[in-house]
Structure 1
């Protein structure tokens, strides 16, 4: 990746004026110095840089200012204050309906889009067959765009955008309307463009896509830049912010310690006395766990360890080694139903393996204040060589069908480990699972 800055925003703000009545706009024009409008600041003092060849994710809730930001980078909106610098040809795929003339045919729109991007008719002629093949809308290419379905529209819009050889590609949520095969094709094409040094701004509510595609990300909230940095950390920040807006969360470490101290009435069963060491406060674990941890004070992870078959804590795991993920938890309130689970994530924060007690039908019921539990997950590690992180969650199910839960404890960085390579032959996927392979020798009867 080069060190050239291709997009730079410095203290950028955008204010829109809202008028209660149309006549108020006229009054403001005729009576300068007096305002009849209500101001709405879509963005306030946003500053960040995007380097050449970088893929930047942009996340935030609806109304956070994402679309306004993209339109200013594209040049379709001007900033109220601040400075926007863009170096290079920008191809943008924003909200559905923008960019094409609905009265023109698909073919005419492709040529119009090419002309807007500075391409000659000959340049577009050379690219047109590739655009049409990628869009794969058949004879509709010569029909007016107003007759297209949303899926056909986005197919042609994306195909047209990627074939103008842009320096910067901006993709909004528009891709979500395409079918699954087309979305996969778009993702593969975007990755090819990234490999050739195209700078990409990618806006999505799919945190998995942001973490897998983007090295950096920014988080917007109510028009302000909340977070800017590695994509996995920014996505976790977004998740924490979302949870905090939906449920009670203990933010301060001291608040957490004070609340737990008040509720901590531990009664060890005889059968757990020999395992009491698992509940001794582990300084290294607590330090790791503090990063963007979400807690509500009802139940808590005291320790989480990855163990080999001899019960030893490990950070290096051999391919197909049997390991145990051990969770030690304490209960601080009576809870009717408690669920728990884990995510194994790669170095980019992308979820590779997931399981929870709902899937395994192992939820805890009628747990009481003061109880302690040791939960062991035993599995065979069959992952490709690399660095991995395990995130762990403890929650109270509310509407499990839509994933609505009350997070008792969520730790994004609970355990880290490295996988050694497979010895006999390389693993070309991220994870391997057991297969039943049947081979039959079939000879055609003459």
Structure 2
């Protein structure tokens, strides 16, 4: 297949659903329009006035509206969007499991679709039996499946469970076997809907290596994911959907920015920083000019509607932003990249020396890093006063394992004497002398992915620890010397 050949052609694709409040309304919609048509045909035969058609007993929901795109052989298309944006509906239309309301879908070649766990499998059959069942459903002959069987089983790597009913499988084992079958049917188009998020990291890496082989061989891959690291590393083009409509289609980096903007701007037309500025304006406060470092632009700030704030009433949280080392808004990084965390507070009461910090947790909630300004030995003022704004930047090298992370920002205070002599105090004494002012949970999230240059995985484990290594090879003494 030519690498330039169009394998998916979608034109003005729309999908409508009928939403009913009650089962009774569904029954009315099924029966009454037909009944009225029969009555009107009878009335027409006798030249009598026709009855008005009955009302609809449902509301329309358009899962997709006028989406158009083309995918060529050898291309990887990522589809991103918030929950309910139409991503899964689009994949089901591509796979042929749904019929479009309007528009057209044209595919050229065999499709391998991994849309949901269990599709194409009989839970009562063994893994071995399901390999043959699923293979036949996907269009392979018995002989073709037998030729590929050993490769499929080796790839799935589920051991003796291959001869156990799949209803006894874990979700991870299920996706291993399902992907193994899909990856060995010589498909021209591979469609995946978040299924790889179920497997462990090593199997996920194995899957993406196989997908790259398929892409290099001319297959097209369509992938729905919420993992922005996967989007940047694997996709050549990205479609951003919002409320069933195409918001953007293009290269990964600008697509991610558009997606993050959708996540941030939950209230249409009003960004987090716009609301912050309006709040300060209403109070007649003037934001101080940033000194010592550049303050980020509006698009770097996170939405503040879902933060979890615990405080003493001494300060007010204004906003938090995340940038890369060039100062651009960023939510996706590579292992070892530098990130700048920015946070702003407004004081409602006088405090002593301000102490500010950032803590980072992985997707399991495990704290992987936390550090504050006193640990950084920041030259902070002895006091800060009501009405003043504190703008803080903390630069962190993200030497972390690939994955999704969240962070918390906080403000505390201590007296000047404690701050100056903190190095000579015990941990317990120092902790007792620091008083929390404000803690902001769910401040934001970011993704760390493998490096695209050099060694992709720079370390094993949660974090990279500074260190060095040496090697000395001894010489071999010859006998008789």
Instruction: Please state if 1:154 is matched with 2:175.
Output: yes
Tell me how far apart the structure 2 counterparts of residues 153 and 121 of structure 1 sit (CA, whole Å).
22
Match of 1:334 in 2: 347
C-alpha contact 1:338 1:394 (8 A) present in aligned 2: no
Listed as ranges, the matches of 1:42-441 within 5 Å are: 42-245=63-266, 249-250=271-272, 263-264=285-286, 266=288, 289=297, 298=318, 333-334=346-347, 404-405=442-443, 427-429=454-456, 435-439=467-471
Task: Spell out, residue by residue over 1:102-160, the C-alpha distance to the aligned partner (whole angstroms, 9 max, x if none).
Answer: 23332232222222332222111111110011111223323332232222211110000
Match of 1:8 in 2: 9
Tell me how far apart the structure 2 counterparts of residues 304 and 212 of structure 1 sit (CA, whole Å).
17
TM-aligned CA distance change 1:69 to 1:406, over 3 Å: closer
Tell me how far apart the structure 2 counterparts of residues 373 and 399 of structure 1 sit (CA, whole Å).
15
C-alpha contact 2:356 2:372 (8 A) present in aligned 1: no
What is the alpha-carbon root mean square deviation over aligned residues? 4.8
- For 2:155, what is the secondary structure of its paired residue? helix
Tell me how far apart the structure 2 counterparts of residues 100 and 332 of structure 1 sit (CA, whole Å).
55
Task: Spell out, residue by residue over 1:384-423, the C-alpha distance to the aligned partner (whole angstroms, 9 max, x if none).
Answer: xxxxxxxxx99768876xx61179xx9xxxxxxxxxxxxx
C-alpha contact 1:263 1:332 (8 A) present in aligned 2: no
Quote the offset at 1:76 in angstroms. 0.5
Quote the offset at 1:250 in angstroms. 4.8
Quote the offset at 1:96 in angstroms. 1.4
Quote the offset at 1:173 in angstroms. 1.4
C-alpha contact 1:58 1:220 (8 A) present in aligned 2: yes
Quote the offset at 1:72 in angstroms. 0.2
- For 2:109, what is the secondary structure of its paired residue? coil
- For 2:232, what is the secondary structure of its paired residue? helix
Match of 1:421 in 2: none
Tell me how far apart the structure 2 counterparts of residues 367 and 10 of structure 1 sit (CA, whole Å).
61
C-alpha contact 1:237 1:292 (8 A) present in aligned 2: no
TM-aligned CA distance change 1:431 to 1:69, over 3 Å: same
Quote the offset at 1:207 in angstroms. 1.4
- For 1:48, what is the secondary structure of its paired residue? strand
C-alpha contact 2:301 2:320 (8 A) present in aligned 1: no
TM-aligned CA distance change 1:189 to 1:304, over 3 Å: closer
Task: Spell out, residue by residue over 1:66-102, the C-alpha distance to the aligned partner (whole angstroms, 9 max, x if none).
Answer: 1111100000101111111222211011111222122
- For 1:101, what is the secondary structure of its paired residue? coil
Richer in strand (by share): 1
TM-aligned CA distance change 1:153 to 1:399, over 3 Å: farther
TM-aligned CA distance change 1:193 to 1:369, over 3 Å: farther
Match of 1:23 in 2: 27
- For 2:266, what is the secondary structure of its paired residue? helix
Task: Spell out, residue by residue over 1:305-335, the C-alpha distance to the aligned partner (whole angstroms, 9 max, x if none).
Answer: 879xxxxxxxxxxxxxxxx9999x8968338
Normalised to the residue count of structure 2, the TM-score between the two structures is: 0.62
- For 2:61, what is the secondary structure of its paired residue? strand
Quote the offset at 1:243 in angstroms. 2.3
- For 1:190, what is the secondary structure of its paired residue? helix
- For 1:134, what is the secondary structure of its paired residue? helix
- For 1:333, what is the secondary structure of its paired residue? strand
- For 2:346, what is the secondary structure of its paired residue? coil
Tell me how far apart the structure 1 counterparts of residues 3 and 385 of structure 2 sit (CA, whole Å).
56
Tell me how far apart the structure 2 counterparts of residues 209 and 359 of structure 1 sit (CA, whole Å).
33
TM-aligned CA distance change 1:369 to 1:394, over 3 Å: farther
C-alpha contact 2:410 2:439 (8 A) present in aligned 1: no
Tell me how far apart the structure 1 counterparts of residues 98 and 77 of structure 2 sit (CA, whole Å).
20
Structure 1: gaps of 5 or more residues: 269-275, 308-323, 343-353, 383-392, 411-425
Tell me how far apart the structure 2 counterparts of residues 360 and 127 of structure 1 sit (CA, whole Å).
61
Tell me how far apart the structure 2 counterparts of residues 191 and 239 of structure 1 sit (CA, whole Å).
26
Larger radius of gyration: 2
Structure 2: gaps of 5 or more residues: 38-52, 305-316, 328-337, 349-353, 361-367, 400-406, 412-437, 447-452, 477-481
